[in-house]
Amino acid sequence: MKVTIVGTGYVGLVTGACLAEIGNDVFCVDVDPRKIEILNNGGVPIHEPGLQEMLARTRAAGRIQFSTDVKASVEHGEIQFIAVGTPPDEDGSADLQYVLAAARNIGRYSNGFKVIVDKSTVPVGTALQVKSVVEEELKARGLEASGKHGFSVVSNPEFLKEGAAVDDFMRPDRIVIGIDDDEAGNLAREKMKRLYAPFNRNHERTLYMDVRSAEFTKYAANAMLATRISFMNDLSNLADTVGADIESVRRGIGSDPRIGYHFLYAGCGYGGSCFPKDVQALAQTARENGHTLRILEAVEAVNSDQKEVLVNKIVKRMGEDLRGRTFAVWGLAFKPNTDDMREASSRRIVEALLQRGATVHAYDPVAREEAERVLALDLADRPEDMKRMHFVKTQQDALTGADALVIVTEWKEFKSPDFGHLKSALKTPVIFDGRNLYEPEAMAELGIDYYAIGRPHVELDRNGNRF
């Protein structure tokens, strides 16, 4: 099938590459010529495992192309995916200017029946706005929004995890499609069924529903996952106070099949492109409709506070004044297997350390370039602090001469380091672990002063007994 993807960001690139991989003819369009140049030169503007290899295969096979030619992109695809950004506005609501601009272009250049698919995460009611904009453009051309120039607006939210997005798309647990129950909607349904048929061969994964419910489903899914994370983080802080071990608690409740283990890990807060803005957007939608989502507002507040918990542990152990202190920071991206720095906990933690006069030696396996860019913006009005921010090439380089290690992102290479080297490289063997990678008892036996999230701080006497 001929498919157009509007937007070559995270969702657009993964969607385009995966649909091309299974044999479709995909046209990816973006208004940013820099992105298109990178893609046409064989590069990828984001880090996502498996994506570059898939793009290379589909490009070599002639099944995917990249362009800034909007008219050609509209004329190409019978199915038009809108996969542009929906950044948060000042009040937390999703900014739909890019979605509606894409819709306007489809109406302006439409040359036949189009299935317009909202792939971007958008608030309930967006499909109606998209429909209105397309109709307006068709009317300006003297065309009727039916027959040859008819169209249907479909909601097909994405459920991709950064770091595993290619696999998530190729092996989906569900495909949600919101569609109108009318003549145009029935035609769109047949086209979407055909497009996703390769993913339904073993069993039917597609859930059909009305458009508004599909739009709501995406926000509800992310809100639930964010809630589980904030719930555990809130409990972890109480565990610190009462002397419980949140990891034991996690195993105890996660073994209940009604609860499960997923997204129950305590840490230093969630970030990324989805959870923060989607929680805010859903809460704002509620306010606009006269409701208050009290749980979600608490979820957001807990997450914001959680990004200070590790800093508070550092200050309690090493003092408020950190001048003359150097900290090794392992991990900058908001999660492993991505270079995404949006709402990353590291930004708050690093800034707090620098504000207190510390020097930071930071290492991340893939996010160094993006981290340098965003932290330079974060600290633009504090050049003296930025002078004490150093990005290093290896995790060992970060340790050399540091007073303590701060772990922010749970990259695999951090899970089993050479603790002997770690102790000898640090001035003092102290670890502040924001992702609970190690066992407190084992760290104490190694002579490492270890502080985690919601886990006991263990000290041993000369005989190896706790005291």
Active-site residue set: 274
- Residue 119 marked in a binding site: no
- Residue 432 marked in a binding site: no
- Residue 412 marked in a binding site: no
- Residue 196 marked in a binding site: no
The alpha-carbon radius of gyration of the chain (Å, integer) is 25
Position 444, amino acid: A
CA 75 to chain centre: 32
- Residue 51 marked in a binding site: no
Q: Residue 131 is encoded by which pair of tokens?
A: 């429909």
Closest CA to 385 of 329, 323, 328, 339: 323
The C-alpha atoms of residue 169 and residue 161 are separated, in whole angstroms, by 9
DSSP code, position 381: T
- Residue 126 marked in a binding site: no
Q: Residue 341 is encoded by which pair of tokens?
A: 């720095």
- Residue 104 marked in a binding site: no
- Residue 2 marked in a binding site: no
Q: Residue 350 is encoded by which pair of tokens?
A: 């690093």
- Residue 313 marked in a binding site: no
- Residue 264 marked in a binding site: yes
DSSP letters, 224-287, are: HHHHHHHHHHHHHHHHHHHT--HHHHHHHHHTSTTT-STT----S---SSSHHHHHHHHHHHHH
- Residue 292 marked in a binding site: no
CA 379 to chain centre: 23
The C-alpha atoms of residue 364 and residue 408 are separated, in whole angstroms, by 10
- Residue 10 marked in a binding site: no
- Residue 409 marked in a binding site: no
CB 279 within 8 A of CB 300: yes
Position 169, amino acid: F
Burial 267-281 (b: 16+ CB within 10 A, else e): bbbbbbbbbbbbbbb
Query: Tokens 């283990």 sit at which residue?
Result: 261
Query: Tokens 């309930």 sit at which residue?
Result: 124
- Residue 271 marked in a binding site: yes
- Residue 30 marked in a binding site: yes
Burial 432-463 (b: 16+ CB within 10 A, else e): bbbbbbbebeebbeeebbbbbbbbbebeeeee
Pairing of strands 206-209, 326-330: unpaired
First to last CA, the chain: 68
CB 100 within 8 A of CB 132: no
Give the CA count within 13 Å in the CB-facing half-sphere of 186. Answer: 3
* Residues contributing to the annotated binding site for substrate: 159-162, 218, 263-267, 271, 335
* Residues contributing to the annotated binding site for NAD(+): 30, 35, 86, 121, 162, 277, 342
* Residues contributing to the annotated binding site: 30, 35, 86, 121, 159-162, 218, 263-267, 271, 277, 335, 342
